[in-house]
Structure 1
Amino acid sequence: MLREIVEKLNPIVIDKANRNEIAKILKTYNSPVYIKDVDGFEVVGNLWNRERLAKFFNVKKEDFIFFMLKNMENLKEKFIIDNSLRDLYINDSSIKKWPIPKYYKNDPGCYITSGVVIVKDEEYGYNLSIHRILVKDNYLVIRMVEQRHLHFLYTKALKEKGYLDVVIAIGCHPAVLLAASTSGDIYFDELKFASTLANGLKVFELDGMLIPEAEFIIKGRILDKLDDEGPFVDITGTYDKVRKQPIIEIDYLLRKEKPIFHALLPGGVEHKALMGLPQEPRMLKFIRNTIPTVKNVVLTEGGCCWLHAVVQIEKRTDGDGKNAILAALAAHPSLKHVVVVDEDINIFDINDVEYAIATRVQGDRDIIIIPGCKGSSLDPSAEKTTTKIGIDATVPLDKKDKFKRVEE
C-alpha cells in the first residue's frame, strides 16, 4: 500500500544511509525522500505537505479545508474488512532491528514519530492519535499530553483493568494520518473519519480491534508505570523538556516481509502539516458561529502550523475583524498570533498577508493584545502564561474605495 503511494510521489532516491543520517537527509530536501537501505530496511520521509495531500485527494489546496470539514461532518463506516491482510505480516523478535531514527544528537534514543496509536473503548469507540514514542531496551515510553483524549482513555482503563491495550501502526495511508491528527470531541471516531476520507479503508481484525493496513505494527499495553521521556525536538524545532511519561510494554511485533519505514522529521514540513491542517476545519467551523461569512483559515508554516493563523472573512459590519480575532483564539487555544484579512488577500501568500498588515493596519486601532493567557507548551518563549495578539488587517467599510487595489 505505502509502496504504491510513495512511487506516485516521485521521491528523491538515496541508495544507502544509517539511521543517524536520516534527519540530515530529510532536512536537505524539502520533498519526498526514499532511502533504499537503512540497516537492511527501506525508509521514506517528507511525504506530505498541504499541496501533496490536496493532490492525493484530488482537491485544490485552497479547498482542502472544506474537503476535511465535509468528511468530518458526514462520517461513514466505509471499512473494507479483509482479514487476508494478516497474511502479509510476519512476526518479528526485536524492535531494535527496525530502522527507527535517532533524529538529533541530543535525543535520548531512537524515536517513533509517525506511529498511529490506536485504542478502542467500549463506551467511546476508536481513538487514533499520533505521539512521539521513545524506544528503550525492551519497552517504549510515550509522550501523552494530559488534555488529550488518549490520556483520558488511559486513566479510565487504569481504573478498570490496570492497563490500556494499544496498537501502534507505522507506515499508514494518509487518510489515517490525517484522522489521527484531527481533534474532535471524545465521541469523535477517528477510524470512521479515516475510512470516510479514504472512501473505503482496508482494515483487518487483530485481537478484537480493526487495524488499518500498515507497514509495521506494535501490539502492547500502556502501563501504570512511568519513565523519563525527552528531551526531544518538537514542532518549533527546539527541544522540549524531560518528563515522566507512561511505559508501553510490547506484547508482540509484526511487519511486512519487505516493509517501508515512515520517518517523520520532528519540526519538519511534514510534522507541521499533519499537526496544522486538521485543526483548520475545526477552527473554521467555530469561527463561523461568530462570523458566518468567514471564507478560509490557514495555520501558517512560519508559525509552525500551530502558533500563527490567518483568517479570511467577508467583512459586513464594523467589528467583524475584531470578533474574528477573538473567535480564532478561542477555536485553537494554542494559537498565539492571528491576522484577519479581507477576501482580496491571498492567505496562502505570506507576502500578500504582509501587504495587508502594511497598508491596512494602525497599531493603536487595529491590534489587540491579551496578556496572561493559557498558551501552547510548545512555545519556547512562553512561561506560565502567554500574551496573545490579534491583528485586524481588514479595510474599514466606509473607506473601501481608498484601499481598492489597481488591476489595470
Structure 2
Amino acid sequence: MNKVTDLRSAIELLKTIPGQLIETNESVNPMAELSGVYRHIGAGGTVMRPTKIGPAMIFNNVKGHEDARVIIGLLANRERVGIMLDTKPEKLGFLLNESVKNPIDPIVISNEFAKCQEVVHYADEPGFDIRKLVPAPTNTEEDAGPYITMGMCYASDIETGESDVTIHRLCLQSEDEISMYFVPGARHLDVFREKAEKEGKPLPISISIGVDPAVEIAACFEPPTTPLGFNELSIAGAIRNKPVELVNCLTINEKAIANAEYVIEGELIPGRYVREDQNTNTGKAMPEFPGYTGEAIEKTPVIKVKAVTHRRNPIMQTIIGPSEEHVNLAGIPTEASVIQMIEKAMPGRLLNVYAHSSGGGKYMAVLQFKKLKQSDEGRQRQAALLAFSAFPELKHIIIVSEDVDPFDTNDVLWSMNTRYQGDVDTIFIPGVRCHPLDPSQSPEYNALLKDKGMSCKTIFDCTVPFNLKEKFERSKFMDVDIERFM
C-alpha cells in the first residue's frame, strides 16, 4: 500500500517509478511557455496534435517566482492515477464507487499543525499582490489572465452550514481580486453564493492548491451521485481510509485543506462582478476540456482576497485545460456514477465503463455490457439511458459486448465496424440539456435546439444480438506463457 497523503508524498512515490515524472531546471516563462512545453511532453486529451500522454513534469526555475516550483500533468495518465490511488487503472471507477458508498468525514486540526500556514501573507500588508505570490500560468497567449486551474474551492451554506468542495476556473484579475466562473446549472458553490448574495452577505471561500490527488479526483463528483449537502472530501477520506484534515482559515470563517501547498482565503462579494478578460480584451478565457478556448464571460463573480498562506518552498499545481488530466479528473468520477446507477438497476450486467478521452471525460462513455439471457436484449439500451441520468453532461454512449476492451479505442471501433448498423443500432434523444462548452450545442449549429447547452444525445449500440452470439465469436488464439519466449 502506498503512503500518499499530500502532493509531496505523491511526487516522492512517482520518483520511484521510471517514466512517471521528470524535472527541469531550465528557466521557463509561466505565461504560455510552460504549457507550450508540456503540450509536447504529456498533455494528451483533446489538445491539438502533436501531443501525447507522458510523465508529469516539475519546473524548478519559473520566471518571476524564484521561491516556487510548478508541477503539471500529475493526473494526466490513467496508469499514474492508479499508482497514486493504489488500484489498477481499469478499476478506478469501482474504487470511487465504493468510496462514495462508504464516506469518511473530514476532521479539523489545530492551526499549529497546519503545513499550509507555514508562511502567511495578509492582503492589508504593503506590496501584497497575489499575482506575485502564486505562480499561476496561462495556457495560451490569448488567455484572459493567469489562471488557477487546480484550486479546491471550499465554501459552506450560510443557512445550513453544509460544505462543498469543487474545482472552478479562477482568473487572477488584480493584486487582490480573482474572478470565478460557474458553469450554468446546479453547481453547489453557486447555490451557496446566490443564497448569500440575496441576503447581501459575502460568502467566505478558501482555495487550496497542491493537495492529495484523492482530494482532486473526489472534488469532481457531481449530482445526482453527490447531491447538495454532500461533502466530497468524505470520498477522499474513504479512498485513503483516513479523514481529510482541514484547518480553520486565519482571516475568514471557513476551513481549508491543512496540508495544501497554497491556500487563498477570501470572500465572494455580493453584487461584485467583472468582465473576465478585462485586462486583455481578447474575448477569450482559457482552453477548456472540449479542446476549444472558452469565451470570456461578461459578468463573473469576484473573490476579494484576504490572505495567501503556503508551505515553505511551495509547489504550484496546474493543468492544461483540455489535457488528459481533465479526462481523469472528470471522467473517473463519471465512471463511478454510471457504475452506481446501473448496478442498482441491473446487477452484474455492466462489466466496466470508460469516460473516453475524446469527450474530455464528460461527453462520451463506453459501456461494456454482458447479456446473460435472451430477456437481457434491450437492457443494454436501458443501461445507456441510466448512464445519461447518472451524469447529465454525457452526450454520446457506445455500448460494447463483454469481449471488447472499452479502454482500447481500436477495439471499440472494431466493434462499431462489425457489430453495428446505423439505421437499427442508433438511438437519438433530441433536445436534452447537456453542456454549454461544446460549440455544437447551440441553436446556431442546430436550429432545433432551443438554447445553448442543449444537445441531441445519441446511443450507439455495438453489442452482439443475444440470438446471434455464435456468429460473432472472435478468433480463438492459444493462451501461452510468453515469459518463456521473451
What is the aligned partner in structure 1 of residue 482 from structure 2? none
Contact kept in structure 2, 1:50 and 1:277, CA below 8 Å: no
1:102 aligned onto 2:138: yes
Structure with more strand by fraction: 1
One of 223, 228, 243 as aligned partner of 2:275: 228
- In the other structure, the counterpart of 1:134 is 171
Does residue 22 of structure 2 align to residue 12 of structure 1? yes
Question: Which residue of 1 is the match for residue 111 of structure 2?
Answer: 83
Question: Following the alignment from structure 1 to structure 2, what is the Cα–Cα distance between the partners of residues 250 and 80?
Answer: 22
Q: After superposition, where does 1:269-308 map in structure 2 within 5 Å? A: 269-292=324-347, 293-308=349-364
Q: Structure 2 CA distance, aligned partners of 1:366 and 1:178? A: 34
Unpaired runs of 5+ in structure 2?
1-5, 16-20, 43-54, 122-127, 277-283, 443-450, 478-486
Q: 1-side partners of 2:9 and 2:350: how far apart?
A: 38
Corresponding position: 1:214 with 2:260: yes
Give, as a single letter, the amino acid of the residue that structure 1 aligns with 2:377.
D
2:291 to 237, 240, 244: 237
Instruction: Answer yes or no: is the 8 Å Cα contact 1:78–1:196 preserved in 2.
Output: no
Backbone CA RMSD of aligned residues: 1.8
- SS of match in other structure, 1:278: helix
Sort the Cα spacing of 1:210 and 1:195 in 2 relative to 1 into closer, same or farther, 3 A.
farther
Contact 1:145–1:151, Cα closer than 8 Å, also in 2: no
Are positions 1:319 and 2:373 aligned together? no
After TM superposition, give the deviation of residue 208 of structure 1 in Å.
4.8
Partner of 2:18: none
SS state of the match for residue 29, structure 1? Answer: helix
Question: Which is worse superposed, 226-235 or 357-366?
Answer: 226-235
Q: Any conservation in 1 of the 2:106–2:233 contact (CA below 8 Å)? A: no
- 1:290/1:323 contact within 8 Å kept: no
Instruction: Report the residue type matching 1:233 in the other structure.
Output: P
2:48 is matched with: none
| C-alpha contact 1:79 1:195 (8 A) present in aligned 2 | no
2:334–2:361 contact (8 Å) kept in structure 1: no
Tell me the percent identity.
30
1:378 partner amino acid: L
Q: Deviations over 1:102-145 (max 9, x none)?
A: 21111111111001101123525220000010101130100012
- Number of the residue aligned with 1:70: 98
Distance 1:219 1:331 in 2: 33
**Amino acid corresponding to residue 437 of structure 2 in structure 1:** L
Query: What is the aligned partner in structure 2 of residue 198 from structure 1?
Result: 240
Equivalent residue of 1:231, what SS? Answer: strand
8 Å Cα contact 2:99-2:236 kept in structure 1: no
Maintained 8 Å contact 2:275/2:296: yes
Q: Deviations over 1:244-296 (max 9, x none)?
A: 11000011111122100001111111122112111211122222344332121
Q: Do the aligned partners of 1:120 and 1:126 also contact (CA within 8 Å) in 2?
A: yes
Alignment match of 1:23 (pick from 19, 35, 50): 35
SS of the aligned residue for 1:218 comes to strand
**Residues in 2 aligned to 1:370 and 1:286: alpha-carbon distance in whole angstroms:** 19
What does residue 379 of structure 1 align with?
A: 438
Please tell me whether the aligned partners of residues 114 and 263 of structure 1 are also in contact (alpha carbons under 8 angstroms).
yes
Alpha-carbon separation, structure 1, partners of 2:253 and 2:188: 21
Does the CA-based 8 Å contact 1:220-1:251 persist in structure 2?
yes
Q: Aligned to 1:9, what secondary structure does the other structure show?
A: helix
Bigger shift: residues 344-353 or 321-330: 321-330
Q: Which amino acid aligns with 1:17?
A: V
> Any gaps of 5 or more consecutive residues in structure 1?
none
Task: Give 1:77 deviation, angstroms.
Answer: 2.8
Q: d(CA) in 2 for partners of 1:375 and 1:217?
A: 33
Deviations 1:171-197 (A, max 9, x none): 111121112111210021112222222
Match of 1:188 in 2: 230
State TM-score, norm by structure 1: 0.95
- The aligned amino acid for 2:30 is R
Per the alignment, residue 447 of structure 2 pairs with: none
The residue identity in structure 1 corresponding to 2:155 is V
Specify which of 392, 400, 403 is matched with residue 469 of structure 2. 400
